[in-house]
A = this chain, B = another copy of it.
Amino acid sequence: MNMTHPFLDVDGDKLREECGIFGVIGAKEAAAITAAGLHSLQHRGQEAVGITSFSGAEFHSHRGIGHVAQVFRQKEVDTLPGSMASGHVRYATTGGSGLRNVQPLFADLADGGFSIAHNGNISNAMTLKRDLVSKGSIFQSTSDTEVIIHLVATSRYPTLVDRFVDALRMVEGAYSLICMTTEGMIACRDPLGIRPLVMGRIGDAIVFASETVALDIVGADFVRTIEPGEMVQVDHKGTISSHRPFGNPSPRPCIFEHVYFSRPDSVMDGLSVYQVRKQIGVELAKESFADADVVIPVPDSGVPAAIGYAQESGIPFELGIIRSHYVGRTFIQPGDAARHADVKRKHNANRAVVEGKRIILIDDSIVRGTTSKKIVEMMRDAGAAEVHMRIASPPTEHSCFYGVDTPERSKLLAATMDTEAMADFIKADSLAFVSIDGLYRAVGESERKKSCPQFCDACFSGEYPTKLTDFSDRFPELDAA
């Protein structure tokens, strides 16, 4: 446990801040519903999970390292009584130290308990923390989210909600939040709505979640999307009120949620994620046809685009790569005897549909390029005659500072090579990415509006929609942002 470690480390763990959040108020067994909801959001954060509940007088909490189904068995859920609960799934480092960062975070404030679950990343957290510590605040975690709690605790405004708004006006970056006080639940989304948040209803209970799939799994009806910059309060009687404390800036929701991050059965800002991905495949087939025998997805994320590509092109869709359901992360690496065993444990060639064929391989994105290279090689080892790689997103040239795990720029293949060089690197016969306008067409826009893009697409365009105070000295090119 390294207690003086700075909590923002661009090169290290900090950017692994993909998260999922869920909350419910007004329901029997609120913690059990939250566990089920988080289970459906497990793809957003697989390393740690926590749930906090409120039973009328007291807050209760349990947090752990692992999957939802491991950390929350019946006996743990039974320790979390009450009709209001919220939870969080995240990446986290292992061990005791890591547990301190597992959300929801909780504090006993002067007005009573305050719990917070956060999806996103605050881009001036380090700067704010330095100031708070100099005035006597003592931090217990290395999470950027803790900054919000201390800003609330030290705010001079009269009510807890006023202090919360006061705190949020000081932070920059991306955040969807689900908070709990003794009065009820507060859900809010940053002014640009970079990270998603939806509202649903089960009977009299109100539910908030990162994605609609979490509403499906708990049997809730979809009510509406929380608007960018909106703050929704629900009290224990079920009264709902909505506020817009940040005015009305133009929204910039993250387009990468559609490309990769959300589950295909979710509906994001009114669009089916599955249909968007399939449509990207259609756009790809129009933009970058290849004469081939079969269309093969890299499972599972490449499957919808491959179906779209196959339908548009008329080339048959086949499962040429089989994905194992049992991928452990710290698996044994036998030495010389089994080359590429790490890739093969996850993906194995289905030689029967690859051998002798010209194949079109569909994947969602290329980050470092190492996996793509291994998969192309695996296809050739299985007898592929030609391998044409098609990518269902534009080249990923820039790091994300809003909560998606991307490595620093220098490790992004597309930041250092053009498409032709990338094709050589991964040893594909051809390589093409969907165009940025093709991507915008797939989400229902006629084109990307250059002056005012409809989405945050900074990972493709480098146009960051907020200030990045903590990172400005390291990334001089961001000063323009």
Residues of A whose CB lies within 8 Å of any CB of B are 1-5, 27-29, 32-33, 35-36, 39-40, 42-43, 46, 57-62, 67-70, 72-74, 77, 79, 96, 106-110, 112-113, 133-140, 149-150, 153-155, 202-203, 205, 213, 216-219, 263-265, 267, 272, 274-275, 300, 303-304, 307, 311, 316-319, 322, 324-341, 344-345, 348-353
Contacts and interface: CB of A to CB of B under 8 A. Distances in A.
Given A58-B2, A307-B318, A138 B149 contact: yes
Nearest to A34: B334
A467 to B, nearest CB: 25
20 contacts: A3-B113, A32-B335, A39-B326, A39-B331, A40-B324, A42-B325, A69-B327, A69-B331, A110-B136, A136-B137, A136-B155, A213-B322, A216-B344, A217-B338, A218-B338, A218-B341, A272-B350, A274-B350, A275-B353, A307-B318
A216 B348 contact: yes
In the assembly, how many copies of this chain are there? 4
Nearest to A77: B332
5 shortest A-B CB distances, which residue pairs? A69-B328, A272-B352, A136-B154, A32-B334, A265-B322
A57 B5 CA distance: 10
Contacts of A79: 1
A280 to B, nearest CB: 14
Contact of A337 (B219, B338, B348): B219
A73 B330 contact: yes
A216 B338 CA distance: 9
B28 A335 contact: yes
Nearest to A330: B73
